[in-house]
């Protein structure tokens, strides 16, 4: 079987392109989804005595509206605080204590809101980027599950989130696995013997330190999983399903090829278009 590195001269032929919407074609949809969110944010801002009070009032609103309002809050009031940070209601008091001195004053927030056109297409376009974030990864994973079920569904079991479901936690599916480690794919024999732990990623773009951090983290996963397999005498291997044009940027292709080399046959990296050639029964049972 050819190694992942041997595909590099023909990399563009093995990349799957997940369609993206063209700007400004999606602005009508954005207005439908986010017009009311921006209007509600403005109403809350007009009632709030200060910016900290505005944040507290947003956290009392049920989801999914709360998350969308927090995204607007971050843009207008507190770019220092991530939406993930703001989602945790029990941390709101400490966030206000730690970051509140950098919140934009509520009077200025109102002025900025009043100065924007209605509808605010620029902000709605930004919010649409949040909506589509992760979607291509979900499509990638779904395509793999469909391919696997067609080719191996009668012989093996496959688990994992198809879409935005909860990740597999290795400490919940592997006996004596000590730490909480999320994964996207678990393939087992019908007797429940685990064979493959898989991680899926679609890269529209990639580079710099974030790229280096990812590869280092993947190498750590390989090390931990293969050590576990050796300790408990399991035929466990690691699979990286990666795709997208970002895979061809910088050192990414070479970095993933090095993971295969590091795994000495127990690590496999594939795009969707490589599956038929590389993801074989021989490798599953090796």
pTM for this prediction: 0.78
Asked if residue 201 lies in contact with residue 160, where contact means CB atoms within 8 angstroms, the answer is no
Residues 6 or more apart whose Cβ sits within 8 Å of residue 205: 245, 246, 249
Q: How far apart are CA 243 and CA 246, in angstroms?
A: 8
CA atoms within 13 A on the CB side of 7: 23
Supply 84's token pair. Answer: 């993930």
Q: What is the pLDDT of residue 211?
A: 56
Element (H, E) at 202: strand 194-202
Q: What is the pLDDT of residue 208?
A: 44
Asked if residue 8 lies in contact with residue 257, where contact means CB atoms within 8 angstroms, the answer is yes
Is 125 exposed, middle or buried (CB count within 10 Å of its CB: 0-12, 13-18, 19+)? middle
Q: How far apart are CA 235 and CA 193, in angstroms?
A: 8
Q: How far is CA 169 from CA 164, 172, 278, in A?
A: 15, 5, 26
CA 171 vs. chain centroid, Å, equals 20
Q: What is the pLDDT of residue 214?
A: 67
Q: How far apart are CA 215 and CA 203, in angstroms?
A: 13
Domains detected in the chain: 27-132 (no CATH), 134-284 (3.40.1350)
Q: How far apart are CA 109 and CA 160, in angstroms?
A: 43
Per-residue pLDDT of the chain (286 residues; tens, 9 = 90+): 789 999 999 999 999 988 778 889 989 989 988 999 999 999 999 999 999 999 999 999 988 889 999 999 999 999 999 988 998 889 999 999 999 999 999 999 999 999 999 999 999 999 888 777 778 888 899 999 999 999 999 999 999 988 767 899 999 999 999 899 999 999 999 999 999 999 999 988 764 445 555 667 899 999 999 999 999 999 999 999 999 998 988 788 999 999 999 999 999 999 999 999 999 999 999 8
């Amino acid at each position: 079987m050819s190694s992942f590195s041997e595909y590099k001269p023909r990399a563009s032929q093995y990349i799957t392109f997940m369609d993206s919407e063209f700007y400004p074609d999606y602005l009508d949809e954005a207005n439908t989804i986010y017009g009311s969110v921006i209007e509600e944010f403005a109403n809350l801002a007009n009632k709030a005595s200060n910016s900290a009070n505005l944040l507290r009032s947003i956290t009392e609103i049920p989801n999914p509206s709360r998350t969308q309002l927090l995204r607007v809050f971050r843009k207008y009031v507190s770019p220092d605080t991530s939406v993930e940070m703001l989602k945790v209601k029990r941390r709101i008091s400490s966030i206000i204590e730690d970051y509140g001195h950098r919140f934009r004053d509520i009077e200025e927030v109102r002025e900025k809101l009043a100065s924007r056109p209605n509808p605010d297409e620029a902000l709605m376009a930004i919010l649409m980027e949040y909506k589509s974030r992760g979607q291509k990864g979900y499509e990638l994973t779904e395509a793999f599950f469909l391919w696997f079920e067609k080719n191996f569904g009668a012989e093996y079991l496959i688990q994992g989130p198809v879409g935005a479901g909860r990740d597999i936690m290795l400490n919940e599916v592997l006996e004596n696995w000590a730490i909480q480690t999320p994964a996207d794919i678990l393939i087992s024999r019908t007797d429940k013997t685990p064979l493959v732990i898989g991680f899926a990623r679609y890269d529209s773009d990639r580079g710099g330190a974030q790229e280096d951090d990812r590869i280092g983290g993947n190498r750590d996963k390989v090390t931990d999983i293969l050590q576990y397999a050796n300790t408990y005498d399991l035929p466990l291997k690691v699979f990286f399903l990666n795709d997208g044009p970002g895979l061809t940027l910088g050192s990414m292709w070479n970095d993933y090829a090095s993971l295969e080399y590091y795994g000495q046959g127990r690590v496999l990296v594939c795009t969707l278009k490589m599956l038929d050639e590389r993801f074989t029964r021989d490798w599953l049972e090796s």
